[in-house]
Amino acid sequence: MSENIVSVNNLSVSFDYQENFLSKKQKIKAVNNINIKIKKGSFFGLVGESGSGKTTLGRAILGANKISTGNVIFHDEERDFDLTTITPKEKKEYRKKAQLIFQDPYAALSPRMTVRDIIAEPLEVMKITESREETDARVRDIASKCRLNLEHLRRFPHAFSGGQRQRISIARALVSNPKFIVADESVAALDVSIQADILNLLKQLQHELNLTYLFISHDLSVVAHVCDIVAVMYLGHIVEMAPSRELFKNPRHPYTKALLSSIPSIDPENKSKAIELKGEIPSAMNPPSGCVFRTRCPHASQEGKEADIKMGLVEVEPGHWVDNCGVNCGA
């Protein structure tokens, strides 16, 4: 039995893009040559700006995006699922094991279904339970684990606030008893006090139900608080990956450093020393050659030798991986 629950090997995901029906088809590489292993029981964080490919990677792991090259393997107790060769029948089985929690709890819940029906839907669709009584029992069980008031099961989502709605989405994701959860910006739309509540709930459920999370977020302070391991993505590449304490104490890649320095400090006397990055994240349609970060990197050389570099992670300390271009320029 493997200690990892997910292995991602040399994964790339590209999309076809055609500006209009006369122009040539182009390939956009959203995710490029990613290698990650997610340990069982870990809280794996994925950070990056919009357009960095975090969501695409998460969806590829769930089998919701087509994999272009490489593979994703999900290690279940008895068997492995290889998502590149998965059959539709196996995919149904896989759905029970791996689930997704969305960002916007207002958009994710059908306004015409009661909370009970929303949570029960996965059980019915996946034909997990055999009778209505059994379904009800499971719904009530998971609802109370997610600290939902059982009285509320008969109501419709419009009656609930953002935090309660997010708890309903979490209950729905967990009702099929999955082992692996992708939480895609699941607290981004919430107020800070509710965000704290949902993060605590996710942590608590992780211990209670033996869950492994892939936690996708753009908010570094949130990631620092809940995740064990963090990977930083930029333009489809992982540029740095390390245990979260190590990463936040000792960032090596210039992009990670810039991201960390950009978090506005709550101490008014600590006026930000943000390393200001020039410009914006380039379009994935024509990413820079060589080191993808070179167009914004404060350490990029005058001669532009970074354009010829081949990107790839190097282990600088046990468990701390940095892109090889970043190893040199960040020093």
Partner 1 sequence: MKHLLEINNLDVKFDTDEGRITAIENVSLTLDQGKVLGIVGESGSGKSVTAKSIMQLNPGNTIYNDNAEIIIDDENVLKFTSKNDLKKIRGGKVSMIFQEPMASFAPAIKIGNQMVEQLMIHKSQDKKEAKNISIDMLNRVGIADAEKRFNQYAFELSGGMRQRAMIAMALSTMPKLLLADEPTTALDVTIQAQVINLMKDIIKEFNMGVIFITHDLGVIAQVADDVAVMYLGSVVEQGPVNEILKNPMHPYTRGLINALPDINNLDAPLTPIPGNIPSPLDRPSGCVFRTRCPHASQEGKEADIKMGLVEVKPGHWLDNCGINCGKV
**Sites of contact with partner 1 (CB under 8 A):** 49-50, 161-164, 191-197, 199-200, 218-222, 224-225, 244-245, 248, 258-272, 274, 276-277, 280-281
Could you tell me the smallest distance in angstroms from the CB atom of residue 195 to partner 1?
Answer: 7
Nearer to partner 1, 156 or 248 (CB): 248
Could you tell me the smallest distance in angstroms from the CB atom of residue 35 to partner 1?
Answer: 25
Angstrom CA distances, 151 to 147, 148, 154, 156, 253, stand at 12, 8, 7, 12, 50
Q: Return the bridge partners of 69, or none.
A: 12
Nearer to partner 1, 11 or 199 (CB): 199
Whether residue 320 contacts residue 243, with contact meaning beta carbons closer than 8 Å, is answered with yes
Could you tell me the smallest distance in angstroms from the CB atom of residue 306 to partner 1?
Answer: 19
3-state secondary structure at position 133: helix
Q: What sign for the dihedral angle of Cα 85, 89, 94, 99?
A: positive
Residue type, 242: A
Could you tell me the smallest distance in angstroms from the CB atom of residue 113 to partner 1?
Answer: 22
Residue 65 DSSP one-character state: S
Whether residue 309 contacts residue 232, with contact meaning beta carbons closer than 8 Å, is answered with no
Nearer to partner 1, 154 or 245 (CB): 245
**Per the structure block, which two tokens stand in for 217?**
């977020």
Nearer to partner 1, 179 or 296 (CB): 296
Could you tell me the smallest distance in angstroms from the CB atom of residue 275 to partner 1?
Answer: 8
Residue type, 53: G
Nearer to partner 1, 90 or 197 (CB): 197
Nearer to partner 1, 8 or 171 (CB): 171
Residue keyed to tokens 């963090």: 230
Could you tell me the smallest distance in angstroms from the CB atom of residue 106 to partner 1?
Answer: 12
Cβ-count burial of 283 within 10 angstroms (0-12 exposed, 13-18 middle, 19+ buried)?
exposed
Using CA atoms, how far apart are residues 259 and 272, in angstroms rounded to an integer? 12
